[in-house]
Structure 1
């Protein structure tokens, strides 16, 4: 039995050497400037071994962390597996990250090297300098520079407990948290998917999985990549979701499985129906968050089930739940029923178990002797947060769910102060901490407002140093508000990933605060929903576009 991701891939390459492992579509190849076509397991292994030898010669080893900023290119996976062979943990870096985010990640993760696209090198150097880090940077076609230090755990065995990756999640009370994910986490995810069965049955050596989800997220890294490794399947990882060419890509790549975000079905359903809607080989989609009103209509039109699932970066396959058996209660936000190897509690605010059809917080753990099997190992440098998450021996998810009388689970809402926009989790406090650095901002609070395509959009309530009151001179203040909002949003794009930047900026005289001057999140959420369309709320969504780095 493999104990590392690298060993699992090596075993797959020995069993299925000529089978395709990765497929690069012509569209993605053109966007990335790389070759289109398929890479077999054997050819991928040769490249991995070459990279492994180069990193080993440069003295990278067990205990080092290396950042990987390579988008959804095959190079991401090849470098990941090569580094994993040496016990090096990878820290995926979102290509959309900007100055403030990169500075924090570099400092907090203590990465010693970043393997990155050349166009991102200047931004990484600037962020490293601001963080006081001597970060080394290389491109994919360069030999690794000599490691700046001896590998901290050089003498220790690399096994299933070894840190494989460090993935950052949205912090709810502060900066994003770094989830330490061991090899066991990724292996468990791959084997869980391979054995899920029902409507999610995988066919060894046959299935071709298409995903537009970013490799910096656990879904693509743990479920997509590792499932294909375990069954000898082919991964079709495209650069991102392109609605206009999506079905052409599905057909041309011969995909049998697709992974989706909730926003995707909503967009695809807007296109006019055609005779080719069912002209594909897809057996099922795996994802979460599909619009309840569109779920049944999508399946009827395109001819395959969308299997709604639940998991978190922290839970991995230790507590993944999926609606892969009937009844699925399509159109009700049902994500299935837990399997025998998962334990679930739903509790109210008093910590008491809820009754059927009663909302409560979802608590989970793995059944058996190790309740943390398949979960993250810990939050990096935050033992207190790790202990709090595992309070009383259960992982507290912060998600509100209910169980119907037949025993099936339904997603209701997020308890945590997290905004979910197009599949990206955004911590309100992170956005607030950055906005407070703008000279015009005296106070700020961020909340989610509904968006018919993206689920949530970010709205920032701002108290400016130069107060504006539309009741005094509406026209003048509205013009000032629009100008200032544009300035704040444009500046924010240099500090945050574009999707975190406020899509609405509302200037308010004061924020709803408690007697201890903390933001009343419940009142803020209610207030935020009333603001879009009002005179002092500026719609800045048109500015939210992916930004190219400044050289």
Structure 2
């Protein structure tokens, strides 16, 4: 049983773990000859991580950084991201990880909203940061990662203190907002450590052995799954986190085997791509004991387990609370989108639109809390500078997840869909409102509605339904006009939005149905006319969606 003292901090737990497991590996990168860094792989022991963190702490402290400061990290999936995060947190500094897929406009919003005091950025990403800084009102100093020791910019404002406590902010992670712009989730030291404890103590098939596990996680360090959920489970159990640069189906098994991974983290799209590979005699040549993730297609769940020889344990979590629920005790409900039952520390209700409880077997929104006495214990601290949104999410003393589920007679919860206006593509949560707001800045667009459509590989794809301005619509029949307009609209989206948010499908229409108060009725656009992708006039732009050259991020996650 893992005991987490009420006043535990990330720095104190790291020091304790380094004393207990000095020679064990804590962080590892698998070999990858095609990678610009650590091509032969790399492994850092608990003692080596602790020493590196102490050195970084001294450098930050000398430059005047401490409690009250926020530092942005644009270090992609390098092991150094975690070293810097640990050093920052041990000093009471809040870490703000940056999604490397962000375009300048999106990054400028993060800079202005989080008001970071410093950015530590890879040299290859300096131009991206500078482009965003030119659009931002807030202008923090920027230090190039490769020159950190010699060029760390001094703090512009003095620190308020040097020693953090359990409720000190450790991270601000940006999650998709349903009203357009992302919201900054403030996560405390207590939150992050409690997430690791919860994962490591689930029991059943989630069995962390005394000798430690080797957790292979291909997910990005700017999201909660890799940098918090799996990392702190590793730290608290003497285990090792194996951090690859990004998921690649052709490298997955070679990296899993080379690093002797015993646990893997996955998304539904990962399972789908692995199943699509031709069977080989080495399909079961690995050390994996179980997989942790979400979103596996029901028809592939048992197929994968039988082929590769280990269970995929479906779970549920979100940035606001990643103390996971998981279907980890046999007999599991494989292929039913089951993700576990309520447990001590996570109470669950299933309710209708008026927050009235629904009977088992009826789909409704899932509400959660820690307990009646301490509903918000171990949850996120709140949305940065948005108390109204925080309180709205907590109305009635329960956190409203926005996810629709069904609870069966045994108490097992089954995921149905997202109630919020969110599109989930390859694990990335995309706010339809954000894409709509940006499309409306294009001079040809009169009105737009963005919604999700099924995708055989990436779960969902972005569809933009567009009403053109009359003068543009009247010229659309001219030779080449439609093709040129599609390219213009797509390039506009790519210039202002991360690549994965750009529409993969686009459809021009004369009108979009609205209510008497002009609220768009998305459900009425296509009605019950089958798959929108088969509609006349639908344009498939998916081949245009490509990650910018050099970006090393992996897909993100909502359900970790």
Same fold (TM over 0.5): yes
> Is residue 2:454 matched to residue 1:450?
yes
Corresponding position of 2:554:
none
Q: Deviations over 1:449-481 (max 9, x none)?
A: 000111110011112225676xx999x468422
Distance 1:165 1:135, change over 3 A: same
Distance 1:477 1:228, change over 3 A: farther
Instruction: For residue 6 of structure 1, report the CA deviation from its aligned partner.
Output: 2.1
> Is residue 2:217 matched to residue 1:217?
no
Corresponding position of 1:140:
145
Corresponding position of 2:135:
130
Distance 1:49 1:29, change over 3 A: farther
Preserved CA contact (<8 Å) 1:29 1:35:
no
Distance 1:250 1:487, change over 3 A: same
Q: Which of 340, 347, 352 is 2:344 aligned to?
A: 340
> Is residue 2:390 matched to residue 1:389?
no
Instruction: For residue 35 of structure 1, report the CA deviation from its aligned partner.
Output: 5.8
Corresponding position of 2:368:
364
> Is residue 2:44 matched to residue 1:43?
no
Matches within 5 A, 1:50-449: 50-141=55-146, 142-143=148-149, 144-151=152-159, 154-155=160-161, 158-317=164-323, 320-367=324-371, 369-449=373-453
Partner of 2:16, secondary structure, is helix
Instruction: For residue 102 of structure 1, report the CA deviation from its aligned partner.
Output: 0.6
Preserved CA contact (<8 Å) 2:9 2:190:
yes
Partner of 2:495, secondary structure, is coil
Instruction: For residue 129 of structure 1, report the CA deviation from its aligned partner.
Output: 2.5
Q: How many Å separate the matches in 1 of 2:30 and 2:19?
A: 25
Deviates more, 1:103-112 or 1:340-349: 340-349
Distance 1:439 1:167, change over 3 A: same
Partner of 2:496, secondary structure, is coil
Corresponding position of 1:506:
507
Preserved CA contact (<8 Å) 1:417 1:427:
yes
Preserved CA contact (<8 Å) 1:448 1:528:
no
Deviates more, 1:132-141 or 1:34-43: 34-43
Partner of 2:255, secondary structure, is helix
Partner of 1:420, secondary structure, is strand
Partner of 2:125, secondary structure, is helix
Preserved CA contact (<8 Å) 1:309 1:323:
yes
Preserved CA contact (<8 Å) 1:29 1:36:
no
Q: How many Å separate the matches in 1 of 2:112 and 2:503?
A: 25
Name the Cα RMSD after superposition. Answer: 2.1
Q: How many Å separate the matches in 2 of 1:335 and 1:25?
A: 30
Q: How many Å separate the matches in 2 of 1:479 and 1:21?
A: 57
Q: Deviations over 1:350-385 (max 9, x none)?
A: 322111211111010012632111110111111111
Preserved CA contact (<8 Å) 1:362 1:398:
yes
Q: How many Å separate the matches in 2 of 1:159 and 1:444?
A: 47
Preserved CA contact (<8 Å) 1:16 1:205:
no
Partner of 2:339, secondary structure, is strand
Query: Larger RCO: Structure 1 or Structure 2 (Cα < 8 Å, ≥ 6 residues apart)?
Result: 2
Preserved CA contact (<8 Å) 1:468 1:509:
no
Corresponding position of 2:524:
523
Preserved CA contact (<8 Å) 2:32 2:38:
no
Q: How many Å separate the matches in 2 of 1:156 and 1:114?
A: 20
Kindly report structure 1 stretches of 4+ aligned residues shifted beyond 6 Å.
none
Preserved CA contact (<8 Å) 2:116 2:140:
yes
Preserved CA contact (<8 Å) 2:29 2:244:
yes
Distance 1:526 1:55, change over 3 A: farther
Q: How many Å separate the matches in 2 of 1:374 and 1:285?
A: 25
Q: How many Å separate the matches in 1 of 2:33 and 2:427?
A: 21
Partner of 2:334, secondary structure, is coil
Distance 1:140 1:62, change over 3 A: same
Q: How many Å separate the matches in 1 of 2:18 and 2:34?
A: 24
Instruction: For residue 99 of structure 1, report the CA deviation from its aligned partner.
Output: 1.5
> Is residue 2:495 matched to residue 1:489?
no
Aligned residues: 543
Corresponding position of 1:542:
543
Question: TM-score when scaled to structure 2?
Answer: 0.93
Distance 1:99 1:337, change over 3 A: same
Matches within 5 A, 1:453-468: 453-466=457-470
Partner of 2:272, secondary structure, is helix
Question: TM-score when scaled to structure 1?
Answer: 0.94
Deviates more, 1:267-276 or 1:518-527: 518-527
Partner of 2:388, secondary structure, is helix
Preserved CA contact (<8 Å) 1:96 1:497:
yes
Distance 1:539 1:479, change over 3 A: farther
